[in-house]
Structure 1
Amino acid sequence: MSTSQVQKVVVVTGASQGIGADLVAAYRKLGYGVVATSRSIGVADDPEIVTVRGDIADPDTADRVVRAALDRFGRIDSLVNNAGIFVAKPFTDYTAEDFDVVTGINLAGFFHLTQRVMPHLLATGAGHIVSITTALVDQPNSNVPSVLASLTKGGISSATKSLAIEYASRGVRVNAVAPGIIKTPMHPVETHETLAGLHPVGRIGETSDVVDAVVYLESAPFVTGEILHVDGGQNAGH
């Protein structure tokens, strides 16, 4: 990065492992300063990565993340709402605790941080928000009961389009990536073969597939309100 360029800054949630950790690495390759948050994240060796440990469902975490970004970098250009939880149960088996946990992380986490980051994205004149949802929102599968995912991540898909239109004339783009099942620590190796069968292409995705989609959206100034499916064909049908 030349000294004449202003360093851009991204906030990444759910950043300690899997897709989130790879997103942090990808944005660093792009030259961004990164504020990375999760419940278990440790201190980073890279001075251009600031870490904030906290529960994304707690509004205080959002406040601390924004404060850390401004204290270290003085600006926020992008937000990746990657933190999420998936609980697959038959509808009537969900407990009140399941509801509170899933809506807390998936919905409240998205709402509190996005709302607090937005003024800083507007200030840059070219901000970007991208959220990670799930292909099951658009193509439910009887093999994977997922009402709480649809309720919460489906809400984010709708909010993505709503925010994209609300801020289209004000320089902030808002997009989402809807992955299929991705090879992360969430899925034990012994389940991979079964999970692969849920995708028309016959395999599960890699974290790099999702990261590449986010990086594309980051560099696509004419794309907003897009739900980009990275799902091995699930959205097209079964």
Structure 2
Amino acid sequence: MNSQQKVAIITGASQGIGAGLVKAFRDRNYRVIANSRSIKPSSDPDVIAVAGDIGDRAVAQRVVAEAIARFGRIDTLVNNAGIFTAKPFTAFTEQDYADNISVNLNGFFHITQLAIAEMEKQGSGHIVNITTSLVDHAIDGVPSVLASLTKGGLNAATKSLAIEYAKRGIRVNAVAPGVIKTPMHAPESHGALAGLHPVGRMGEISDVTDAVIYLDTAGFVTGEILHVDGGQSAGH
């Protein structure tokens, strides 16, 4: 085993942005631990698929244990797993609330705590949290309180962790996307969704993966919330 080859953990990795991130890191010769509830085994010996709900600490423990057992290190963690429930505030159910907290916050907390413990042993590491531009720029007609509550918390945690671990060689950043063209959005909705962005189009998966890779290589950048949102956060 070449323990010097870098290793990334990616959550929410079975489709959309997560699958794009797996490819982007493999293209840069990273080994990858890929997690999602429904992920299938990988035919690539340098990609280990770990199925399970990242909101469950036991799953997070299994992901980190696989990374160390198979590849000997963890260099980057991308907290990509997340859910978005668009409903009027008074229409949210207790289950909606519980689901958003479980995936968006518990899923971040458990895996990040465990990964940082390993990164501290190495004296290096990088965390990237995928949040949302809606935290900074709410849009009329796109009800997003639970997204803002949870992903806004991740933006704040990004800065807090960046300062806490700056002197220990661990960087923490976030990417805050606009609406990205993924299987989550039906093709017939693309026109309306494109109109939510000042540049007049939806984002592509590559727009997000390029931002994550940039942050991963930018050694002097930490505590940054990088908006990849077609100008949404700047205004209309």
Aligned letter for 1:222? F
2:3/2:71 contact within 8 Å kept: no
- Correspondent of 2:27 among 26, 29, 36: 29
The residue matched to 2:140 in structure 1 has which SS?
Answer: coil
Instruction: Give the stretch that moved more between structures: 5-14 or 226-235.
Output: 5-14
Deviations 1:142-168 (A, max 9, x none): 120100000000000000000000001
* Offset at residue 4 of structure 1 (A): 8.5
The answer for the alignment partner of 1:144 in structure 2 is 142
Matches within 5 A, 1:61-140: 61-140=59-138
Deviations 1:93-141 (A, max 9, x none): 0000000001100000000100011011122222000010000000011
The answer for the alignment partner of 1:172 in structure 2 is 170
Sequence identity percentage? 64
CA–CA separation in structure 1 for the residues paired with 2:116 and 2:13: 20
Q: In 2 relative to 1, CA 15–4 (structure 1 residues): closer, same or farther, beyond 3 Å?
A: closer
CA–CA separation in structure 2 for the residues paired with 1:96 and 1:63: 27
The CA RMSD over aligned residues, in Å, is 1.1
Q: Structure 2 stretches of 5 or more lacking a match?
A: none
1:12/1:37 contact within 8 Å kept: yes
Indicate whether 1:60 and 2:65 are aligned: no
Aligned letter for 1:121? M
The answer for the alignment partner of 2:227 in structure 1 is 229
* Offset at residue 39 of structure 1 (A): 0.3
The TM-score normalised by the length of structure 1 is 0.97
- Correspondent of 1:44 among 28, 42, 45: 42
The answer for the alignment partner of 2:187 in structure 1 is 189
Q: Structure 1 stretches of 5 or more lacking a match?
A: none
Alignment coverage as a number of residue pairs: 236
CA–CA separation in structure 1 for the residues paired with 2:2 and 2:198: 47
CA–CA separation in structure 2 for the residues paired with 1:153 and 1:124: 28
CA–CA separation in structure 1 for the residues paired with 2:58 and 2:112: 13
CA–CA separation in structure 2 for the residues paired with 1:4 and 1:196: 44
CA–CA separation in structure 2 for the residues paired with 1:187 and 1:234: 18
CA–CA separation in structure 2 for the residues paired with 1:178 and 1:143: 19
The answer for the alignment partner of 2:212 in structure 1 is 214
CA–CA separation in structure 2 for the residues paired with 1:5 and 1:122: 16
